C-alpha cells in the first residue's frame, strides 16, 4: 500500500559499516513490523514494535541488529558492522490498533560489498 514509506529504497554498504533503514507507517497506524527477505525466499519476521515499545524481537539477531519506533518520527532498523550475509530486502509493514491486516512498504534493498 502506497501509504507505508520506506527509505532508502536501495542502500549499498561496505563490510563493517552501519546501515539505517527507515519506515514511516501508514497514517493512523501505530504498529510496525520488520521483515527480511532473501532472493527467492519467503518473509522472515524480525521485530514488532509499537510507539516507544518493542513488543516482540524474537526474530531479530541478538547482535548487531536493533530497532526502535520513537514517539515522533519513523521506525528505524539499525544494522551495525554489516556483513555480506546481511544483503537482503528489508520490508516493513504497519497496522492500526485492533487491525490485523498488515500493509507493506516498498522495501529497502541492502547490498553489502
Partner 1 sequence: GENVEQHPSTLSVQEGDSAVIKCTYSDSASNYFPWYKQELGKRPQLIIDIRSNVGEKKDQRIAVTLNKTAKHFSLHITETQPEDSAVYFCAASRDYQLIWGAGTKLIIKP
In the complex, the residues that contact partner 1 under the rule CB under 8 A are 1, 31, 33, 41-43, 45, 48, 55-56, 91, 100-107
Half-sphere exposure of 50 (CA within 13 A, CB side): 5
For the CB of residue 8, give the shortest distance to partner 1 in the complex, in Å. 15
Residue number, 68 or 104, with CB nearest to partner 1: 104
For the chain, where are the E strands, in sequence order?
5-7, 10-13, 19-24, 31-37, 43-50, 53-56, 65-68, 75-79, 88-95, 103-104, 108-112
For the CB of residue 111, give the shortest distance to partner 1 in the complex, in Å. 14
Alpha carbon separation from 111 to 9, 12, 29, 34, 84 (Å, rounded): 11, 5, 29, 17, 8
Residue number, 104 or 111, with CB nearest to partner 1: 104
Residue number, 12 or 83, with CB nearest to partner 1: 12
Rounded CA-CA distance 62/70 in Å is: 20
Residue number, 25 or 107, with CB nearest to partner 1: 107
For the CB of residue 42, give the shortest distance to partner 1 in the complex, in Å. 5
For the CB of residue 28, give the shortest distance to partner 1 in the complex, in Å. 17
Amino acid at each position: 500500500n502506497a501509504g507505508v514509506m520506506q527509505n532508502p529504497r536501495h542502500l549499498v554498504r561496505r563490510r563493517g559499516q552501519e546501515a539505517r533503514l527507515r519506515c514511516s507507517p501508514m497514517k493512523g497506524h501505530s504498529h510496525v513490523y520488520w521483515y527480511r527477505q532473501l532472493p527467492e525466499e519467503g518473509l522472515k519476521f524480525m521485530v514488532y514494535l509499537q510507539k516507544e515499545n518493542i513488543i516482540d524481537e524474537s526474530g531479530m539477531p541478538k547482535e548487531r541488529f536493533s530497532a526502535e519506533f520513537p514517539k515522533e518520527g519513523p521506525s528505524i532498523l539499525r544494522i551495525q558492522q554489516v556483513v555480506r550475509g546481511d544483503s537482503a530486502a528489508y520490508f516493513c509493514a504497519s497496522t492500526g490498533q485492533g487491525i490485523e491486516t498488515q500493509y507493506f512498504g516498498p522495501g529497502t534493498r541492502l547490498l553489502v560489498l
